[in-house]
Structure 1
Amino acid sequence: MQIFKVGGAVRDRLLGIPVTDVDRVVVGATTEEMLAQGFRPVGADFPVFLHPKTGEEYALARTERKSGRGYGGFTFHASPEVTLEEDLIRRDLTINAIAEDDQQNLTDPYHGQRDLEARILRHVSPAFAEDPLRVLRVARFAARYASLGFIVAPETLELMRQLSESGELQALTAERSWKEISRALMEDQPQVFIQVLRDCGALKELMPEVDALFGVPQPEVHHPEIDTGLHTLSVLEQSALHKQPLTVRWACLLHDLGKGLTPEEEWPRHIAHEHTGLNLIKAVNERFKAPKDCQELALLVGKYHTHCHRALELKASTLLELLQSFDVYRRPQRFEEFIGACEMDARGRKGLEQRSYPQADYLRGAAQAAREVAVQPLLEKGFKGPELGEALKRERLKALKAYKDRASA
């Protein structure tokens, strides 16, 4: 029995960056031998075990053969006869197909070290094209390592293009797709993920609503970058630079979908794109079964982001309606995330990345003014039920008018 570290643990150590997950492959062992040593089996698909003391994963060396569509369409074979090289060849990228023993001796049959030095994301073998999930994985790695200068090898991008055109991407489950998308959005350069998907034709298959934004112009006076797709990439980039959470990054990706529906004769204006985009946002949310908080924020940002940009001009009654829509009294964090997404939208414009965004603090102040309206005095006056709600609304409107007066003084 021989045990090797493989995958990300080896790759990231060689790159000199922190190692988070450690995967190990066991060569020359049987399931019975692993169980006899106290390893606990996990997963029904193939033999993976948890170490009895550390809880880390150990997988028996295995080969795989395509047997159906999609990510799950594989037959696995694990036995003591499977060699380390046979196990490594089934992996996606050469930089993930390097093994390391306890003395840090490397086994690198597919030249992963060479590609690490050249900053290339290259597939290990033609079998890469059998697994559609790898399109998303490679795009995610491109986003993760873009700051180190990594690019996707042209021949790998071509295989990704063939996969995209084959219809195999449609066989991916929502859960598997969302796992890759959400992880990619949390990388340092999530815009690279979207760009790579677009370069290989996968964006058109997975998110045609986002792909449709490229080539759609906006008024240059507000958007010096003009192209709506490029603007979306810039907004995503800003969301990562400002360390925004996943909810905000997802909303940033989807906020302008309505502009993809604007008839060409109306370009570069996009009247009411906030409302026309809502059904598209709903469709993308449902397609990937995004978590509820991501879904809600994406819809709210899509509907109200121009309200945020015009916050200083809004009437007190419109301000109140905005605050009510977000339920700022019970869910203050959601409103804060909305403000964050809108600020990223404002900063995601060519040459305007550093421009101040006074609307953010103005809206925070408005929310605070509305929250400070006390309910108790209204109860003491005998208001209850629907009448109490109306009285509270009137008092909050009064407070917002006073806030606006103070802010403009």
Structure 2
Amino acid sequence: MKSYVVGGAVRDALLGLPVQDRDHVVVGATPEAMLAAGFRPVGKDFPVFLHPDTQEEYALARTERKTAPGYHGFVFHTAPDVTLEDDLIRRDLTINAMAQGEDGSIVDPYGGRRDLDARIFRHVSGAFAEDPVRILRLARFAARFPAFTVAPETASLMRTMVAEGEVDALVPERVWQELARGLMEAHPSRMLAVLRDCGALARIMPELDAFWGAAQADKSVHILRVIDTAAAASHTLAVRFAALVQGLASQAIGAVCRRLKVPNDCRDLALMTAREQATLARALALGPDDLVTLCERCDGFRKPERFLDMLLAAECDARARGAAAYPQRPYLAGALAVARAVNAGEVAAACGADKEQIPAAIRRARVAAVSAWMEGAG
């Protein structure tokens, strides 16, 4: 029985990057032998075990056979005679199909080291075409490693997979999971570019893909700039998603979110940001009453952090257009802070028994506070 570190841990170590997680493949073992050695079984699809001390994952070397469309349609086979090379050939990219032995030696049967040095994403074998998630994974890797390019034969294979409908078999939750991880990488525009190149973006987010039409070329370039601007600022996933889709109509954003089952926090921020674009653009010209109305409409008094996130997403759009500054963000943040500082309890107490007047009185107090703040700022 031999174990090897495999996949991303080997790749990242060779790139000189920090290794976050280490996965292991065990060759020449059975589930019974793993249990006898103190490993704890996890996973349902194929035998995976947790090391009794490190809690790292150890999977038995396996082969797999495609039996149905999508990424669930596989039958796995593990046995002591399954070799390390048998296991590695089923992996997605050559740079992820290397292993490191217990003595530190690198096992690289499919040219991963060569492609790593050349900064190329290349599929290991025809098995790549059997799992449409691999298209999303490769696109996500492109966002993480922007210096890498897709090998021509791999790009061609991905286009064929899309044309044959493999991407259509993906479940929404998995699509969103991969997209979200890609949006959180350093250069999310590269993910979108790869998906667009192979045709997958048109299947996954046709509303966004439409911006690549000949008449809207400038919009597609802007989208790529916006999402990279959000990434460069280390914004949250919700802010990055809102920044990405704010150029869409609210109806289109709703369609994307329903289809991909986007989490509520991302959906709500995206819809609000798109809806308020015109108001935010002329925010510096708004009067105190309109400023309070904006805060109310965006539920800023109950959810101030979401209001501020909206301003961050809008700022990404402005900066991607070349703006050196976005004064609307500090201005609106200041107006919200002043309005929220009004002591609603004191205002309510001053209304006495006339409870119906309380909401209007609180609003007047907030407008007055914002008006005074504006005069002082001027």
Q: Does the Cα contact within 8 Å between 2:2 and 2:27 map onto a contact in 1? A: yes
Structure 2 counterpart SS, 1:82: coil
Amino acid in structure 2 at the alignment position of 1:215: G
**Distance in 1, Cα, partners of 2:171 & 2:159:** 19
Deviation at 1:136, TM superposition (A): 0.3
The alpha carbon displacement at 1:114 in A equals 0.2
How many angstroms does 1:321 deviate by? 1.8
Q: Which moved more, 1:91-100 or 1:170-179?
A: 170-179
Aligned with residue 375 of structure 1, among 336, 344, 352: 344
Aligned partners of 1:215 and 1:227 also within 8 Å: no
Paired residue for 1:162?
Answer: 160
Which stretch of the first structure deviates more once superposed, 370-379 or 173-182? Answer: 370-379
Q: How many residues align?
A: 377
The answer to whether structure 1 residue 237 and structure 2 residue 209 are counterparts is no
CA positional deviation for 1:34: 0.6
Question: What is the letter of the counterpart of residue 238 of structure 1?
Answer: T
- Match 1:366 to one of 335, 342, 350: 335
Q: Which residue of 2 aligns with 1:404?
A: 374
Q: Which aligned runs of 4 or more in structure 1 are off by greater than 4 angstroms?
A: 383-386
1:178 is displaced (CA, Å) by 1.3
- Which residue pairs with 2:318 in the alignment? 346
**Is the alpha carbon distance of 1:385 and 1:297 closer, same or farther for their aligned partners in structure 2, counting shifts above 3 Å?**
farther
- Is the contact made by 1:143 and 1:188 (CA closer than 8 Å) also made in structure 2? yes
The answer to whether the aligner puts 1:332 opposite 2:332 as a matched pair is: no
8 A Cα contact 1:369 1:399, kept in partner: yes
User: How high is the TM-score relative to the length of structure 1?
Assistant: 0.89
What is the one-letter code of the residue matched to 2:183?
Answer: L
Q: Percent identity at matched positions?
A: 52
**Amino acid aligned to 1:239:** A
Coordinate RMSD, CA, aligned: 1.4
Partner of residue 201 from structure 2, selected from 182, 203, 225: 203
Q: Secondary structure at the match of 1:227?
A: helix
Structure-2 change in CA distance of 1:82 and 1:319 (3 Å)? same
Residue number in structure 2 paired with 1:117: 117
Aligned to 1:140: 140
**Structure 2 partner of 1:228:** 219
Structure 1 residues 86, 347: closer, same or farther in 2, change over 3 A? same
Q: 2-side partners of 1:205 and 1:386: how far apart?
A: 52
TM-aligned CA distance change 1:288 to 1:406, over 3 Å: same
2:281 equivalent in structure 1: 309
What are the ranges of 5 or more consecutive residues in structure 1 without an aligned counterpart?
A: 219-225, 258-276
Give the corresponding residue for 1:105: 105
Distance 1:394 1:73 in 2: 62
1:270 matched residue in structure 2: none
Contact preservation (8 Å) 1:216, 1:229 = no
The 1:250/1:216 distance shift into structure 2, 3 A limit, reads farther
Contact residue 29 and residue 80 of structure 1 kept, 8 A: yes
SS at 2:342 equivalent: coil
Q: Please report the TM-score for the alignment, with normalisation by the length of structure 2.
A: 0.97
Q: Secondary structure at the match of 1:301?
A: helix
Q: Secondary structure at the match of 2:55?
A: coil
1:36 & 1:367 partners in 2: Cα distance? 62
